[in-house]
């Protein structure tokens, strides 16, 4: 009865198993549920009914074990039918025991709960979908094309700002919900979707309008279907993606900015002059290298997979040893995880010269990036190393040179402390470089200005100490000595020094210190003083000579012309009966007489006054700061001294007389020549008046006569300008010893026509022109006529080497004439380098600043300059250093006497040598005999000019 009842149960599959789990019987419901016939199932193990994966797990044995142990086991799970389909089963497995509690088998009841499971899943999925839709800000909708009816889900209504159970938006026109900007696109998509076969889903992003009027972005997904009647229906979902859309736009913007930043960064890195490498840690694989790195090393990223591959690049240390892979700075940073200090290395590219680099590396890790990297930077220092090597060699050469040169060289820092000094500086100062380093300059180098002499010959008190380096650093400009200074050496030595200090300019234009050059001029200064003394003093008597006397006389005249200055006087002495001594006893006796008489005169001359021998038996005396009466007393004393003087020779006693001319220096006389003329004239009158007396030249007759003479020549000059009575002459200048290029070289001279009497020389009329301010007119006439004549004779100009044109002192001081001359020179077709302007020493040095401006202005056009009458005073050399003339014309008074006077010869030779050292060529004037010409050639004078070589001739073609 029980078996029949079990067989009839249709809802449950019931079957029995033995203790091993082998099926022994089951009901018809089991056949239907499992799909096996009874003969297929009975005798098979329970695992037949399990899924493959459960069999692998031996899940059937597990369940039987649970039922055997606990008496009952149940579960809900998926089970497999014979055809492979699955169903959801509720299983109840019971262990069967006898009265002795022994296991005798198992029973199993299985119920098919698939429908319940699926229904439960549908409900769960529906709830899950609702939650998902809510969480996703989504809602569903349906649109019936036939009725134009739009249905919205409560969730979608809420998203659009409507109450879930309240009034809905207009369902008859979906366009009311869509932003007008998106309506055309939606219509186009709908047409495409509805006409396509088969219909394609609708998917797009658009803006829907909320109840409050604001629009938000939604993603719309819908399918087009047709019912049995053929009516179309569109159903889908709307997801609010407004915030996501804004985030996406921000993300897109940020990505674009990031990409742009990366591009800019890479562009910047690629423009770097140094190589940049980025490698992965710990492998060492190259991730990036900039353009400089690729150009230099040539290795690609693909070639460097690990740091072991670094050895493919030939990198060596400064000792020439090739680096191993782990010794590369980048590899060291990778392996150690610490920064590697930069070091200098040498890259040896194949077939090219080695290059120096300074390479450092460091590990890095960007925020938020799990990757670790290492970066190496290689600075190309090849040019720097080669510059350093060149600088080192240059420094070594400079040090060798500094040790070899005779000039002392000292360098200091900005604080004036010594940085270095060469061997010559050590010798001059008495300090070794080791001892002097770091000391203040004024402690090692004690410089004083050389005490100069007062005009009367009295020594001036020593000047205070000087520090040229301090001055050049303070003023930030070179400083040179205007006169030799005295260097007091350590240990008591004393040197005469010319110095020059200049700031040391660094490459960035900052001042880094100063350099001081010391030139020991002790020997040359002594020679100059000796030569200067010889040039300014009479060798026979030791008195001042005529040349020096003229300088001092002009100085005295200049002082008398100053406001409040006291007057002075000039005495001109001419001995009487001196020729008798010479003729009777010979020239040696005459020389001895002059020496003795000079001593006698000196006893009556004040130290501030100047007594000079200005001729064979002529003397002159400047009596300063005195009245005419006081000067007359001095003249009377000299007259008395001469009368009382006795000279004994060959047992003969000789007496002398003297004629003295006295003229006051009271401001009425302005030039040395004029004063000497007046005194000489007074002396002549004394002789004419009976000799052995004093004649006072009072202001009056002579002055009136001079003025009349000047007025005569001023009128003559005016007539000459109007009547074209001025005429240009030229006198040749001959090159000596290979000087010059063989072309014509001459000086332009000025003459005034005087009918049958012949031409009048410039010494007759130019003094009047100077005194009455018409000299500028003369200068312009000479310049204009000279340039016009040269321009009119181009063939002559081609053969011309140099044409010298004289200019007056007033022309040099007149800026208007400077501009006029420059304009005329530029206007004519005469090469400026063939023009030379001759200026007198006195005129040039009278106003040095104006002269220098004039010379430089015309030299810039190509013109050259000659300094005439050079050597009338030792100050000439000091001025010559400052005046960049091209030629020096040695004063004719030296040239005329050089064959008979050793002093004059030496002066000519010395002037020639100094001029050559300064880069000037020399011209000798008044060369009138062969002996003089030979001497000039012997000592190397460049040019000669004189009557012997050619007299002045009218300027003709």
The pLDDT of residue 889 is 92
Confidence category of residue 211, pLDDT binned at 50, 70, 90: confident
**pLDDT digits 0-9 by tens, 299-349:** 665 677 787 888 888 889 989 899 888 888 988 888 888 999 999 999 888
CA 437, CA 130: separation in Å to the nearest integer? 94
The pLDDT of residue 924 is 94
Give the bridge partners for 110, in sequence order: 13, 91
Same fold, 272-386 and 709-954: no
Interval 65-94 mean pLDDT: 86
Interval 95-123 mean pLDDT: 80
Interval 347-358 mean pLDDT: 87
Interval 600-604 mean pLDDT: 91
Helix, strand, coil content of the chain in percent (nearest 5): 45, 30, 30
**pLDDT digits 0-9 by tens, 750-783:** 999 886 677 888 888 888 788 667 888 999 999 9
Q: Compute the mean pLDDT over every residue in the chain, rounded to the nearest whole number.
A: 83
**pLDDT digits 0-9 by tens, 797-835:** 999 999 999 998 888 888 889 999 999 999 999 999 999
For residue 789, pLDDT beyond 90: yes
Give the bridge partners for 752, in sequence order: 726, 760
Interval 289-308 mean pLDDT: 75
The pLDDT of residue 221 is 83
Interval 710-723 mean pLDDT: 84
Nearest to 237 by CA among 190, 202, 191, 199: 202
CA 696, CA 635: separation in Å to the nearest integer? 10
CA 611, CA 623: separation in Å to the nearest integer? 9
Interval 256-268 mean pLDDT: 80
For residue 502, pLDDT beyond 70: yes
Confidence category of residue 893, pLDDT binned at 50, 70, 90: confident
Confidence category of residue 396, pLDDT binned at 50, 70, 90: confident
CA 488, CA 484: separation in Å to the nearest integer? 13
Nearest to 501 by CA among 481, 486, 482: 481
Confidence category of residue 124, pLDDT binned at 50, 70, 90: low
For residue 200, pLDDT beyond 60: yes
Residue 659, SS3 per DSSP: strand
Confidence category of residue 1, pLDDT binned at 50, 70, 90: very low
**pLDDT digits 0-9 by tens, 227-261:** 666 677 778 888 888 888 888 888 888 888 888 88
For residue 367, pLDDT beyond 70: no
Residues 6+ apart with CB under 8 A from 37: 31
- Calculate the alpha carbon distances from 121 to 74, 126, 127, 145, 490 in Å: 21, 8, 10, 33, 115
- Calculate the alpha carbon distances from 253 to 156, 248, 259 in Å: 30, 8, 10
For residue 523, pLDDT beyond 50: yes
Q: What are the extents of the domains in the chain?
A: 2-112, 136-246, 272-386, 405-520, 566-699, 709-954
CATH topology for the 136-246 domain: Beta-Lactamase (3.30.450)
CATH architecture classification, 272-386? 2-Layer Sandwich (3.30)
CATH, range 405-520? 3.30.450.20
Residue 154, SS3 per DSSP: helix
Interval 728-751 mean pLDDT: 87
Structure tokens that stand for 326 in this block? 């782990």
Greater confidence, 929 or 176? 929
CATH topology for the 709-954 domain: TIM Barrel (3.20.20)
- Which of 57-61, 148-152, 542-546, 894-898 is predicted with the least confidence, judged by mean pLDDT? 148-152
For residue 462, pLDDT beyond 50: no
Structure tokens that stand for 441 in this block? 């300059």
For residue 919, pLDDT beyond 70: yes
Greater confidence, 293 or 436? 436
Greater confidence, 171 or 674? 674
CATH, range 2-112? 3.30.450.20
- Which of 60-64, 359-363, 684-688, 714-718 is predicted with the least confidence, judged by mean pLDDT? 684-688
The CATH superfamily holding the domain 566-699 is Reverse transcriptase/Diguanylate cyclase domain (3.30.70.270)
For residue 702, pLDDT beyond 80: no
CA 411, CA 395: separation in Å to the nearest integer? 14
Q: At which residue do the structure tokens 């900005």 appear?
A: 414
Structure tokens that stand for 119 in this block? 């229904």
Phi and psi at 367, nearest 5°, equal: -60, 130
CA 256, CA 638: separation in Å to the nearest integer? 113
- How many other CB atoms are there within 10 angstroms of residue 268's CB atom? 10
Phi/psi zone of residue 228: left (φ > 0), alpha (ψ -120 to 50 degrees), beta? Answer: alpha
Confidence category of residue 863, pLDDT binned at 50, 70, 90: very high
The pLDDT of residue 455 is 44
The pLDDT of residue 107 is 87
The pLDDT of residue 763 is 84
Phi and psi at 582, nearest 5°, equal: -60, -45
Interval 481-495 mean pLDDT: 85
The pLDDT of residue 301 is 55
Nearest to 340 by CA among 318, 359, 362, 324: 362
DSSP secondary structure string for all residues of 889-914 = EE-HHHHHHTTT-HHHHHHHHHHHHH
911 alpha-carbon distance from chain centroid: 43
- Calculate the alpha carbon distances from 482 to 471, 498, 852, 875 in Å: 14, 8, 17, 12
CA 32, CA 19: separation in Å to the nearest integer? 25
For residue 545, pLDDT beyond 60: yes
169 alpha-carbon distance from chain centroid: 79
- Can you give 797-864 as a three-state secondary structure string? HHHEEEEEEECCHHHHHCHHHHHHHHHHHHHCCCCHHHEEEEEEHHHHHHCHHHHHHHHHHHHCCCCE
Give the bridge partners for 77, in sequence order: 89
For residue 136, pLDDT beyond 60: no
The pLDDT of residue 75 is 86
Confidence category of residue 936, pLDDT binned at 50, 70, 90: very high
The pLDDT of residue 153 is 79
For residue 703, pLDDT beyond 60: no
Q: At which residue do the structure tokens 């009158």 appear?
A: 685
CA 559, CA 564: separation in Å to the nearest integer? 10
Share above pLDDT 90 across residues of the chain, in percent, rounded to a whole number: 24
Taking the CA atoms of residue 534, residue 535, residue 536 and residue 537 in that order, the dihedral angle to the nearest 10 degrees is: 40
For residue 372, pLDDT beyond 60: yes
Pinpoint the alpha helices (H) of 492-626.
Answer: 522-536, 546-560, 578-585, 587-602
- Calculate the alpha carbon distances from 367 to 256, 296, 371, 372 in Å: 20, 31, 10, 10
The pLDDT of residue 793 is 93
Residue 172, SS3 per DSSP: coil
């Amino acid at each position: 009865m029980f078996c029949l009842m079990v067989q009839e149960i249709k809802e449950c599959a019931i079957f029995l198993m033995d203790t091993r789990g082998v099926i022994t019987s089951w009901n018809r419901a089991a056949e239907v549920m499992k799909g096996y016939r009874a003969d297929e199932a009975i005798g098979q193990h329970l695992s037949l009914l399990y899924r493959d994966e459960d069999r692998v797990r031996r899940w059937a044995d597990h369940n039987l074990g649970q039922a055997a142990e606990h008496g009952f086991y149940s579960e809900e799970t998926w089970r497999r039918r014979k055809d492979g389909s699955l169903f959801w089963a509720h299983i109840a497995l019971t262990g069967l025991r006898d009265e002795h509690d022994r296991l005798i088998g198992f029973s199993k009841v299985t119920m098919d709960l698939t429908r319940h499971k699926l229904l439960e899943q549908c409900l769960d999925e529906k709830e899950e979908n609702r939650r998902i839709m809510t969480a996703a800000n989504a809602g569903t909708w349906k649109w019936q094309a036939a009725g134009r009816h739009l249905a919205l889900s409560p969730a979608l209504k809420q998203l659009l700002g409507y109450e879930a159970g309240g009034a809905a938006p207009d369902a008859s026109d979906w366009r009311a919900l869509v932003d007008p900007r998106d309506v055309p696109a939606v219509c186009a998509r709908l047409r495409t979707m509805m006409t396509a076969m088969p219909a394609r889903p609708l998917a797009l992003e658009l803006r829907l309008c909320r109840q409050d009027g604001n629009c938000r972005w939604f993603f719309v997904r819908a399918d087009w279907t047709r019912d049995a009647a053929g009516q179309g229906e569109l159903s889908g979902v709307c997801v609010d993606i407004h915030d996501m859309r804004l985030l996406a736009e921000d993300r897109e913007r940020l990505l674009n900015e990031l990409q742009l930043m990366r591009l800019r960064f890479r562009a910047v890195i690629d423009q770097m002059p140094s190589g940049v490498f980025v490698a992965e840690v710990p492998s060492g694989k190259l991730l990036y290298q900039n353009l400089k790195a690729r150009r230099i090393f040539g290795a690609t990223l693909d070639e460097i997979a690990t740091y072991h591959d670094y050895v493919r690049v030939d990198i060596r240390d400064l000792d020439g040893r090739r680096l191993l892979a782990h010794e590369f700075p980048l590899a060291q940073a990778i392996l150690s995880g610490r920064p590697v200090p930069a070091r200098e290395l040498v890259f040896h590219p194949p077939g090219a010269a080695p290059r120096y680099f300074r390479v450092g590396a460091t590990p890095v890790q960007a925020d938020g990036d799990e990757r670790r990297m290492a970066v190496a930077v290689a600075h190309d220092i090849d040019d720097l190393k080669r510059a350093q090597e060149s600088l080192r060699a240059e420094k070594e050469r400079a040090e060798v040179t500094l040790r070899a040169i005779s000039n002392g060289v000292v360098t200091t820092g900005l604080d004036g402390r010594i940085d270095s000094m060469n061997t010559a500086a050590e010798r001059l100062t008495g300090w070794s470089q080791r001892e002097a380093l770091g000391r203040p300059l004024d402690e090692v180098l004690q410089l004083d200005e050389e005490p100069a002499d007062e005009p009367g010959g009295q020594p001036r008190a020593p000047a205070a100490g000087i520090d040229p380096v301090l001055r050049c650093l303070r003023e930030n400009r070179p400083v040179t000595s205007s006169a030799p200074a005295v260097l007091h050496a350590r240990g008591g030595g004393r040197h005469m020094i010319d110095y020059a200090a200049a700031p040391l300019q660094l490459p960035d234009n900052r001042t880094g210190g100063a350099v001081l050059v010391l030139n020991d001029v002790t020997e040359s200064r002594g020679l100059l003083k000796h030569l200067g003394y010889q040039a300014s003093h009479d060798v026979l008597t030791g008195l001042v000579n005529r040349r020096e006397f003229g300088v001092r006389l002009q100085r005295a005249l200049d002082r008398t012309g100053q406001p409040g200055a006291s007057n002075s006087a000039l005495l001109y002495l001419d001995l009487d009966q001196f020729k008798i001594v010479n003729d009777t006893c010979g020239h040696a006796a005459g020389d001895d007489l002059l020496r003795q008489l000079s001593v006698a005169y000196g006893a009556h001359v004040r130290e501030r006054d100047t007594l000079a021998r200005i001729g064979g038996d002529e003397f002159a005396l400047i009596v300063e700061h005195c009245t005419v009466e006081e000067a007359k007393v001095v003249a009377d004393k000299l007259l008395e001294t001469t009368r009382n003087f006795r000279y004994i020779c060959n047992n003969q006693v000789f007496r002398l007389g003297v004629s003295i001319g006295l003229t006051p220096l009271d401001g009425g006389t302005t030039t040395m020549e004029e004063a000497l003329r007046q005194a000489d004239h007074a002396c002549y009158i004394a002789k004419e008046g009976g000799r052995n007396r004093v004649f006072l030249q009072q202001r009056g007759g002579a002055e009136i006569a001079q003025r009349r003479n000047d007025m005569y020549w001023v009128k003559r000059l005016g007539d000459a300008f109007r009547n074209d009575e001025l005429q240009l002459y030229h006198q040749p200048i001959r090159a000596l010893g290979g000087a010059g290029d063989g072309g014509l070289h001459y000086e332009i001279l000025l003459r005034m026509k005087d009918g049958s009497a012949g031409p009048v020389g410039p010494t007759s009329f130019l003094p009047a022109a100077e005194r009455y301010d018409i000299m500028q007119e003369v200068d312009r006439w000479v310049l204009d006529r000279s340039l016009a004549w040269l321009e009119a004779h181009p063939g002559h100009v081609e053969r011309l080497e140099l044409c010298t044109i004289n200019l007056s002192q007033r022309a040099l001081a007149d800026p208007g004439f400077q501009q006029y001359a420059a304009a005329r020179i530029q206007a004519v077709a005469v090469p400026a380098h063939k023009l030379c302007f001759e200026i007198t020493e006195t005129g040039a040095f009278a106003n040095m600043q104006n002269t220098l401006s004039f010379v430089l202005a015309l030299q810039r056009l190509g013109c050259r300059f000659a300094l005439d009458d050079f050597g009338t005073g030792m100050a000439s050399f000091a001025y010559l250093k400052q005046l960049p003339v091209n030629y020096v014309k040695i004063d004719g008074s030296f040239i005329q006497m050089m064959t008979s006077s050793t002093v004059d010869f030496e002066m000519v030779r010395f002037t020639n040598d100094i001029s050559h050292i300064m880069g000037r060529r020399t011209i000798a004037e008044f060369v009138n005999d062969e002996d003089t010409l030979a001497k000039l050639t012997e000592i190397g004078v460049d040019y000669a000019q004189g009557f012997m070589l050619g007299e002045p001739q009218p300027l003709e073609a």
